Chains A and B, each alone.
Chain A
């Protein structure tokens, strides 16, 4: 199921969509399924499942540590697809966010086929751009999958046009010129970037990198179609290491706060 269904519903309710991220296998494979389902139950509109990778150049220390923990726990690419299947079964559009090499190693065509069979919506690909992603684009189109490429404040208008034209589902705008990780305020770079993206495409624009609470989510939701949250969810689990039930409660509480935020941003509820 394409993520566009979730964005369409949010748009109909005059609010932004909440996109939540956790790596598969963190804290364990079963634990990540439980955690992600709690995020769905508490109000995430779209789920991003991270495929843990040994060399995550785009991730900050929080997510890198979680991915490393997952790898040390023995998570395999097949496990990631199993987590996708379990989460997608809730009916919530479920994407995989992955660095490119694990997909290439699995086989691009085989990965697209198996992701589709697991009910996955598509891929977010942080380290390939459309000009180097022809193989993935072809496989995604063949298997009716979303292709979510990233745009950045440093992207030229020409590249924003090229990138958004290659996307399906939504466009992922990285709002700070940095790596993933919680910030105290959302970036002033996000607004202009979203405006430039909207000038180029009618696809929804999700903004990532930096949001960790409902107030920040509300601020972003006033102009973005999707609020993407990763590190804050990872931290909620890390802060309750060894106690998944407490971690899951923290995830639910954070999700509710953020879900409130994405509604407050457009005045759909009082902030």
Chain B
């Protein structure tokens, strides 16, 4: 069984998941991208340059870390794939370096991107600066407010950041706006899509650039433990870090794959972003996939404490992996994720991105049923950008006045 897309971008079977539901005005650009990307992957000049950039600039391969104190606490061996240590602080640098290099190869001079938490925007602005490309980033107005530091980072990197205040003013609206820009400027502009979703070939193209997460992890796990992990856990918003991680293990039938979606306030409250767990099949942003939608097919606003998971769609390959039973997708609430963030900080001295904390929380839950087993976790990003949220959530930031020790 293959888990890859066919030539038209369908996962599963024709019409099942994926495809290309896009305006004709963009089809030529998508076809060009598809052709050039396939050529690039077959060209050692391109792949060697991509590998060199990852190694010398991004700090990849990221290490696999044996989290012994956390493992002791939860009763299972937890291995963390340290994508948080990559340049710009998340797995997303892999994707943007690949797409920006492809842009340059295609002779285009400008990149645009959408961003939720700001991670993809920062990564795109970084890659654009590194490769000398003009850069415009679309970001929901709500997100620019909750991630102001990332806006500043992008601006410092020379990118133009446009706050989108249509619709729910979050990631999905930023994607709409970026598509509009692309339609108007497609002759000289490439759209650096931030996740393994969207119209064909983006889900497969993004996967090809992020699959190092899983391929490296598989090798590193074998080196470290002598065997494959029993389970793999990753957070899923659009799903790029998860698909990159899963890609290394799809053919290892004994390795259980778990995607943890944002459960927000709890799936039963309706305020969540658990697209696969609680959504239904529809078409959003160019592909058929699970979508949070109402009875009329209008997209429903998603909710998550984590801007990077706050998306009402999901990459179509995840929909296929769920429907085919190869991977399981479960929700993790805001509260569980924040608790896991604190546990990881206190046991290992690692502050994860809140997105990645969903994967940690999921792994801690898996550990209850998998005592003594090995669980590989994609630690997709670091938490520096989330300290404002953590400060509010845990009521931090007020130092003791120096008399606390005298209370007894």
Contacts and interface: CB of A to CB of B under 8 A. Distances in A.
Contact of B27 (A100, A105, A159): A159
B338 interface: no
A14 to B, nearest CB: 30
A106 B296 contact: yes
Contacts of B180: 57-58, 60, 178-179
Contacts of B27: 129, 152, 154-155, 159
A94 interface: no
A154 B186 contact: yes
Interface stretch (B147-155, B208-216, B280-288): B280-288
Contact of A155 (B15, B24, B166, B167): B24
Contacts of A139: none
Contacts of B172: 55
Contact of B29 (A64, A154, A174): A154
A55 B299 contact: yes
Contacts of A60: 180
In this complex, which of B19, B176, B185, B187 has the most chain A Cβ atoms within 10 angstroms of its Cβ?
B176
B65 interface: no
Contacts of B176: 55-57
B21 A177 contact: no
B318 interface: no
Contact of A106 (B22, B23, B297): B297
Nearest to A61: B166
A142 B324 CA distance: 32
A101 B286 CA distance: 10
A216 interface: no
B350 interface: no
B183 A105 contact: no
A256 to B, nearest CB: 31
B21 A54 contact: no
A105 B298 CA distance: 9
B24 A149 contact: yes
Given A55-B299, A177-B25, A132 B20 contact: yes
Interface string B216-251: 000000000000000000000000000000000000
Contacts of B396: none
A134 to B, nearest CB: 8
Contacts of A154: 25-29, 186
A150 B297 contact: no
B298 A54 contact: yes
22 contacts: A53-B297, A54-B298, A55-B172, A55-B285, A55-B299, A68-B167, A76-B296, A101-B299, A104-B297, A105-B293, A105-B295, A105-B297, A127-B21, A127-B283, A128-B21, A129-B22, A129-B24, A129-B27, A132-B8, A132-B19, A150-B24, A154-B186
| Nearest 8 pairs of A and B residues by beta carbon | A105-B297, A152-B25, A178-B184, A102-B297, A154-B28, A101-B297, A54-B299, A57-B179
Interface of A: 53-58, 60-61, 64-65, 68, 71, 76-77, 100-106, 126-129, 131-132, 134-135, 149-156, 159, 163, 174, 177-179
Given A102-B298, A106-B297, A132-B8, 9 more contacts: A55-B172, A55-B299, A101-B291, A129-B22, A152-B27, A154-B27, A159-B27, A174-B25, A177-B25
